[in-house]
Structure 1
Amino acid sequence: MSKFFYNQEAESYDAIVVGTGISGGWAAKELCEQGLKTLVLERGRMVNHIEDYPTANMDDWDFPNNGQLSREEKAKQLKQARTGYTVRAQHNFWFVDDLVHPYNETKRFDWMRGYHVGGRSIMWGRHSYRWSDMDFEANKKDRIAVDWPVRYRDIAPWYDKVEAYIGVTGENLGLPQLPDGVFEPMMELNCVEQHVREKVSEHFDGRVITAGRVAHINSDKQFEGKNRMRCQYRNRCIRGCPFGAYFSSNSSTLPAAEATGNMTLRPDSIVHEVMYDPDTKKATGVKVIDRVTKETYEFKAKVIFLCASSIASTSILMQSKSDRFPNGMGNDSDQLGRNIMDHHLGVGAGGRFEGFEDKYYKGRKPNGIYVPRFRNLGGSSNTDKFIRGYGYQGGASRGNWENTIKELSHGKGLKEEILKPGGWNFGMGGFGEVLPYEDNRMTMDYDNLDQWGLPTVTFDAEFKDNEWKMREDMKEQAVDMLEKAGLKDVQPFDDPGALGLGIHEMGTARMGRDPKTSVLNGYNQIHAVKNVYVTDGAFMTSAACVNPSLTYMAFTARAAQHAVQELKKGNI
């Protein structure tokens, strides 16, 4: 990608984008393609598509100790390990060292971070769902927090644009709670998934099982650029995809930005403050610390996009203090850092299926099933136990090793058992909406500084009554569906963990109609500083129950167009 800029002198650009993940990549692409000379700043190391995916083509047996890390290596990622999957030699290098990047917990918070070019767009789960008007109107209807300043019709064209560009597999279902989209061919269900789909449809009105809508190319359609082709069904996505089959900044938006000749990419650049001019009431640029040398720089621009992730972008705003903003840039409402949300998960059910022993599947499908929300949609779907709703993700597969242990086989019997696939198993786990609570918050600790002399983040957030009541229903309905679908030995599970475990942290600089109760307006601008846009998860006013990245991308593309138009008009 572009050469890095290391000049000590303050350099001026049309735009600065902070962060290179899902949102930052889209901001860079859109601003560069519309002619703005754009400086893209990433706090972590450089990662080039393909050449910097070191384990992408390795088999599991290529890793010493079956991919298990040493105790010394594990000690560096004790918080990262809470996900249950990050601490593996196949991909642990994407996740930060907790000792180098500490944070504080008044209450447990699982903050999973990747500091490198591409951010978590390399490791994300890729599920991509649209919000509906039901989601955008929910706060107003329930008198919770503040009303969203936008509705589905405002964002629908941008969902179209993003889906067509990134490639999302799925099927159109005609469900009001999960709007249809511009899809690649759906990834096929396997035979047990299809069976459960049919049985659930037979026994439950209004419940649908479909394939997950995931950001993978699943056709021979030519996508923009030379870095992307159809999914190879290897299911090694988290290591980095050399085929570019799933969407990432590294394979897609950043190369598109670079192709314009308008992007300057500078990794190892820790942004810690947005500079403010009280005379113009605008931001003038950002202050940066070089991650490696710890030298300091200032870069200037006409417009600034904060896309560093929900917590990081808000941390930057909190540190951007001035006479005008003594408590952080844009914090007139005292909402900066508040209303932390995520999705609660780790609850559902699983069981075994007797039948289809003569059936198997081909390849390693990087996707399973999805059950769209069916609670509190009106009529018999409503419950008075909790508000909002949840969906499920899951799937069916065949084991291939259990029977080798049962009888402690050896010799010829062991060989025969190893070569036979095991029985079918099916599991489903819920993803529930977390409400925005003003006292679920983050603050900055200036007594505990990191190695760059910057304050660390302290989390004080938790699940509350609505989430706990919802979880009971998530567990009960999962058991009911699987039992009616004919599964045996159905067992519920419920391991709540804590906020952050869904890796969908959002809120902290919410969007709203009133500057007295929100940080951003309906175009992602800070109410009081119009040339600063925040388009990562920080802007979220509520959480819905679907994976949020598609919504971040749609809002980012929309905000970028707005910024260009406002620059041309001389408004920012």
Structure 2
Amino acid sequence: MNLNTKATAQNTYDAIVIGSGISGGWAAKELTEKGLKVLLLERGRNIEHIKDYTTAMKKPWEFEHRGRLTEEQKRTHPVQMRDYPYQEFNESFWVNDLDCPYTEVKRFDWYRGFHVGGKSLMWGRQSYRFSDINFEDNLKDGHGNDWPIRYKDLEKWYDYTERFAGISGQNENWPALPDGQFLPPMEMNCVEKSVKKRIEDHYKRERILTIGRTANLTVPHKGRGKCQYRNLCSRGCPFGAYFSTQSSTLPAAVATGNLTLRPYSLVSHIIHDKESKKAKGVMVIDSETNENMEFYAKIVFVNGSTLGTTQILLNSTSDEHPNGLGNASGELGHNLMDHHFRCGASGQAEGFDDKYTYGRRANGIYVPRYQNMGNDKRNYLRGFGYQGGASRTGWHQDVAELAFGGDFKDQMTVPGVWQMGLGGFGEALPYHDNKVTLDKTKKDKWGLPVLAIDCSFRDNETKMREAMKNDAAEMLEAAGMKNIVTYDNGSTPGMAIHEQGTARMGNDPKTSVLNKWNQMHEVSNVFVTDGACMPSIGCQNPSLTFMALTARAADYAVAELKKGNI
């Protein structure tokens, strides 16, 4: 691999990929394997597999603050510290919010990691396919524009990406969650197995519970080691046991000899050529030196993450594209979506006091969507799934003043009660006025205008959240749980880190930015295959769909390039 840290005289490539996260890594792999010379641009630092996972093998007591944040870290990361991902264990993976601010017209929690691999190093790894239900919902209920593809268009690409990435899971023959090419599933614990049986018996398989489908290897796969059940994934995995750019797509791209990786390369805009009506390259700011340079290519894949991608496109203005590249429809920046979550129910399981768990399984259980399907009609549109699991609570509940003697020692060796929780992940509708725009009154550290984010959940999501709580309690009760409590800890857009939309696909250039191949309607050599392209978001974790869309688009792009159509 060429690590192009200095601009060379030879700045022309067959393809440029902007961003090295989940979808950018896939674009680089697919394009290099098809013979193209590819420049992979990453705005942040390089992180090398294994070597740079500096906290992966540390013991809890080896962290100076035992996982807690310092006052200085809180000061420089006011957004990142809003939720659990940002902590001492992997704090170097998250952005300094003061360097790259944004304007919150309404609260939006924007979690970002600027480094090679992007959020593929910190993602939750839950990997679910979309079904035709998801691809058809927009058309059926009139929210958003119709997807230009259906499940059959993506099925073989789901197969392809699952086989390479390594997804463990169980086939279930469930209409809202197509089966896949799975490695052996992780095992549920005794309480989860009991809950599964009771729920499926009670609802006569109108609802199911399955082990999570996760990009953690349960067997060695393509030179990578299997999961060690440490559940320390977000620090980076030295075993290569979960899918990331570093463990999977980057080594594949490097092996071709066709990849040039350039970290510290912040793309300010895409350069449009008036004569050809195509993109001729990108303008890059070296994020260490602030030096400007240009790189040129026949095709450009924009994979800067949903909002990062849209920020680049909105900033790519010209006489032909005064409102942002490929934005004649006016849809660029609109239809921003995220999942809403943090509500559900939990209860206590009785009769398992002689059982315990082994290891720390980096995965939970999954209840796929069953609402607004078949006979299950609701007072809201779309639906939700549940993630969760069962575990035993803390090892003792002592009273400090009584902490001595034989009884106390006995108590210290007895784990607490078994608890089972179900937390909902709900689909948000694509609202046109959930949007991002450029705020030219505010600049980031590199002098670029920042994004203003104006996004909120609405009545449909509020109604769905009531059902997410009540259905969870009802199911736990049917499963024999005791002392059931519901909860709603509130959810604002951005929190789920599943932001999507803003450069959606569609058949009609008047209402969409991209066509069915993730290709810009107006600029034929620009492709967007990250979350920005999504016309709706289902309730499933989205990353697997980004992978499949990217592999499909890369296949098409290279074929069109060879035919001379691009």
**TM bracket (short chain):** over 0.9
Task: Write the distance in 2 (CA, Å) between the matches of 1:132 and 1:88.
Answer: 35
Q: Please say if 1:354 is aligned against 2:350.
A: yes
**Greater displacement, 318-327 / 199-208:** 199-208
Checking the alignment, whether the CA contact within 8 Å between 2:396 and 2:415 is kept in structure 1 is no
For residues 135-193 of structure 1, the C-alpha deviation after alignment (integer angstroms, 9 at most, x for no partner) is: 10110011111100000000000000000001111111111110000001111100000
- Deviations 1:278-305 (Å, cap 9, x if unpaired)? 1111100000000100000100000000
Q: Does 1:287 align with 2:286?
A: no
| Aligned amino acid, residue 18 of structure 1 | I
Q: Which amino acid aligns with 2:446?
A: W
Distance 1:199 1:391 in 2: 18
Task: Tell me the equivalent position of 2:546.
Answer: 552
Query: Which of these residues, 542, 559, 566, is aligned with residue 565 of structure 1?
Result: 559
| Alpha-carbon offset, residue 97 of structure 1 | 1.2
Q: Note the 1:144-223 alignment, pairs <5 A.
A: 144-205=143-204, 206-220=206-220, 222-223=221-222
Query: How big is each residue's C-alpha offset from its partner over 1:370-415, in whole Å with a ceiling of 9 and x where there is no partner?
Result: 0010100121x111x1010100000011123342348752354443
Where 1:533 maps in the other structure, the secondary structure is: strand
| Whole-angstrom distance in 1 between the partners of 2:5 and 2:553 | 26
Aligned to 2:75: 75
Alignment-derived partner of residue 377 in structure 1: 373
Q: For residues 254-311 of structure 1, give each alpha carbon's deviation from its aligned partner in whole angstroms, at most 9, with x where no partner exists.
A: 1110010000000000001000111111100000000100000100000000001000
* Corresponding residue for residue 54 of structure 2: 54
Give me the whole-angstrom Cα distance separating, in 1, the residues matched to 2:131 and 2:151: 6
| One-letter code aligned to 1:287 | M
Q: Which of 286, 305, 310 matches 1:309?
A: 305
For 1:204, the aligned partner's letter is Y
Q: Deviations over 1:12-35 (max 9, x none)?
A: 100000000000000000000000
Q: Retained in 2: the 8 A contact 1:283–1:529?
A: yes
2-structure distance, mates of 1:48, 1:196: 42
Does the 8 Å contact 1:167/1:215 carry over to 2? yes
User: Using the alignment, how far apart are the partners of 2:329 and 2:7 within structure 1?
Assistant: 37
Q: CA RMSD in A?
A: 1.2
- Write the distance in 1 (CA, Å) between the matches of 2:169 and 2:384: 19
C-alpha distance in structure 2 between counterparts of 1:433 and 1:500, whole Å: 13
The answer as to 2:440 corresponding to 1:456 is no
Tell me the secondary structure at the aligned position of residue 525 of structure 1. coil
Q: Within 1, Cα distance between the matches of 2:64 and 2:271?
A: 48
Equivalent pairs, count = 565
**Residues 123-138 of structure 1 correspond to what in structure 2 (within 5 A)?**
123-138=122-137
In 2, the alpha carbon distance for the partners of 1:451 and 1:30 equals: 33
TM-score computed with the length of structure 2 as normaliser: 0.98
1:13 paired with 2:9, answer no
Instruction: Tell me, in whole angstroms, the C-alpha distance in 2 between the residues paired with 1:407 and 1:546.
Output: 48
Q: Does the residue aligned with 2:525 lie in a helix, a strand or coil? A: strand
2-structure distance, mates of 1:445, 1:333? 20
Superposed displacement of residue 229, structure 1: 1.3
2:327 is aligned with 1:331: yes
Q: 1:406 to 1:153 in 2, by over 3 A?
A: farther
1:241 to 237, 240, 252: 237
Distance 1:512 1:5 in 2: 38
Structure 1, residues 120-139: CA drift from partner, whole Å, max 9, x if none? 00000000000001110110
Q: Distance in 1 between matches of 2:531 and 2:402?
A: 51
CA contact (8 A) 2:283 2:294 kept: yes
Secondary structure in 2 matching 1:61: helix
Which letter maps to 2:327?
A: N
- Does residue 1:143 correspond to 2:147, yes or no? no
What is the CA–CA distance in structure 1 between the aligned matches of 2:399 and 2:289, rounded to whole Å?
54
SS at match of 2:460: helix
Gaps of 5+ in 1: none
| Shift in Å, 1:10 | 6.1
- 2:23 aligned partner: 23
TM-score for the superposition, normalised by structure 1: 0.97
Provide the rounded CA distance (Å) in 1 between the counterparts of 2:399 and 2:189: 27
Aligned residue for 2:34? Answer: 34
Amino acid at match of 2:363: N
* Contact 1:10–1:297 (CA under 8 A) maintained in structure 2: no
* Structure 1 residue matching 2:208: 3-state secondary structure: coil
Give the distance between the partners of 2:408 and 2:332, measured in 1 at CA.
61
After superposition, the Cα gap between the structure-2 partners of 1:459 and 1:408, relative to the gap in structure 1 and judged at 3 Å, is farther
Contact 2:380 2:460 in 1 (8 A): yes
Rounded Cα–Cα distance in structure 2 between residues aligned with 1:72 and 1:265: 32
- C-alpha distance in 2, partners of 1:69/1:418? 30
Residue aligning to 1:503:
497
Percent identity, aligned pairs only, is 54
Match of 2:409 in 1: 415
How much has 1:353 moved relative to structure 2? 1.3
Moved more, 287-296 or 197-206: 197-206
Instruction: Give how far 1:111 is off.
Output: 0.5
Q: Which residue of 2 aligns with 1:110?
A: 109
Deviates more, 1:25-34 or 1:88-97: 88-97
Structure 2 residue identity aligned to 1:73:
Q
Preserved CA contact (<8 Å) 1:190 1:396:
yes
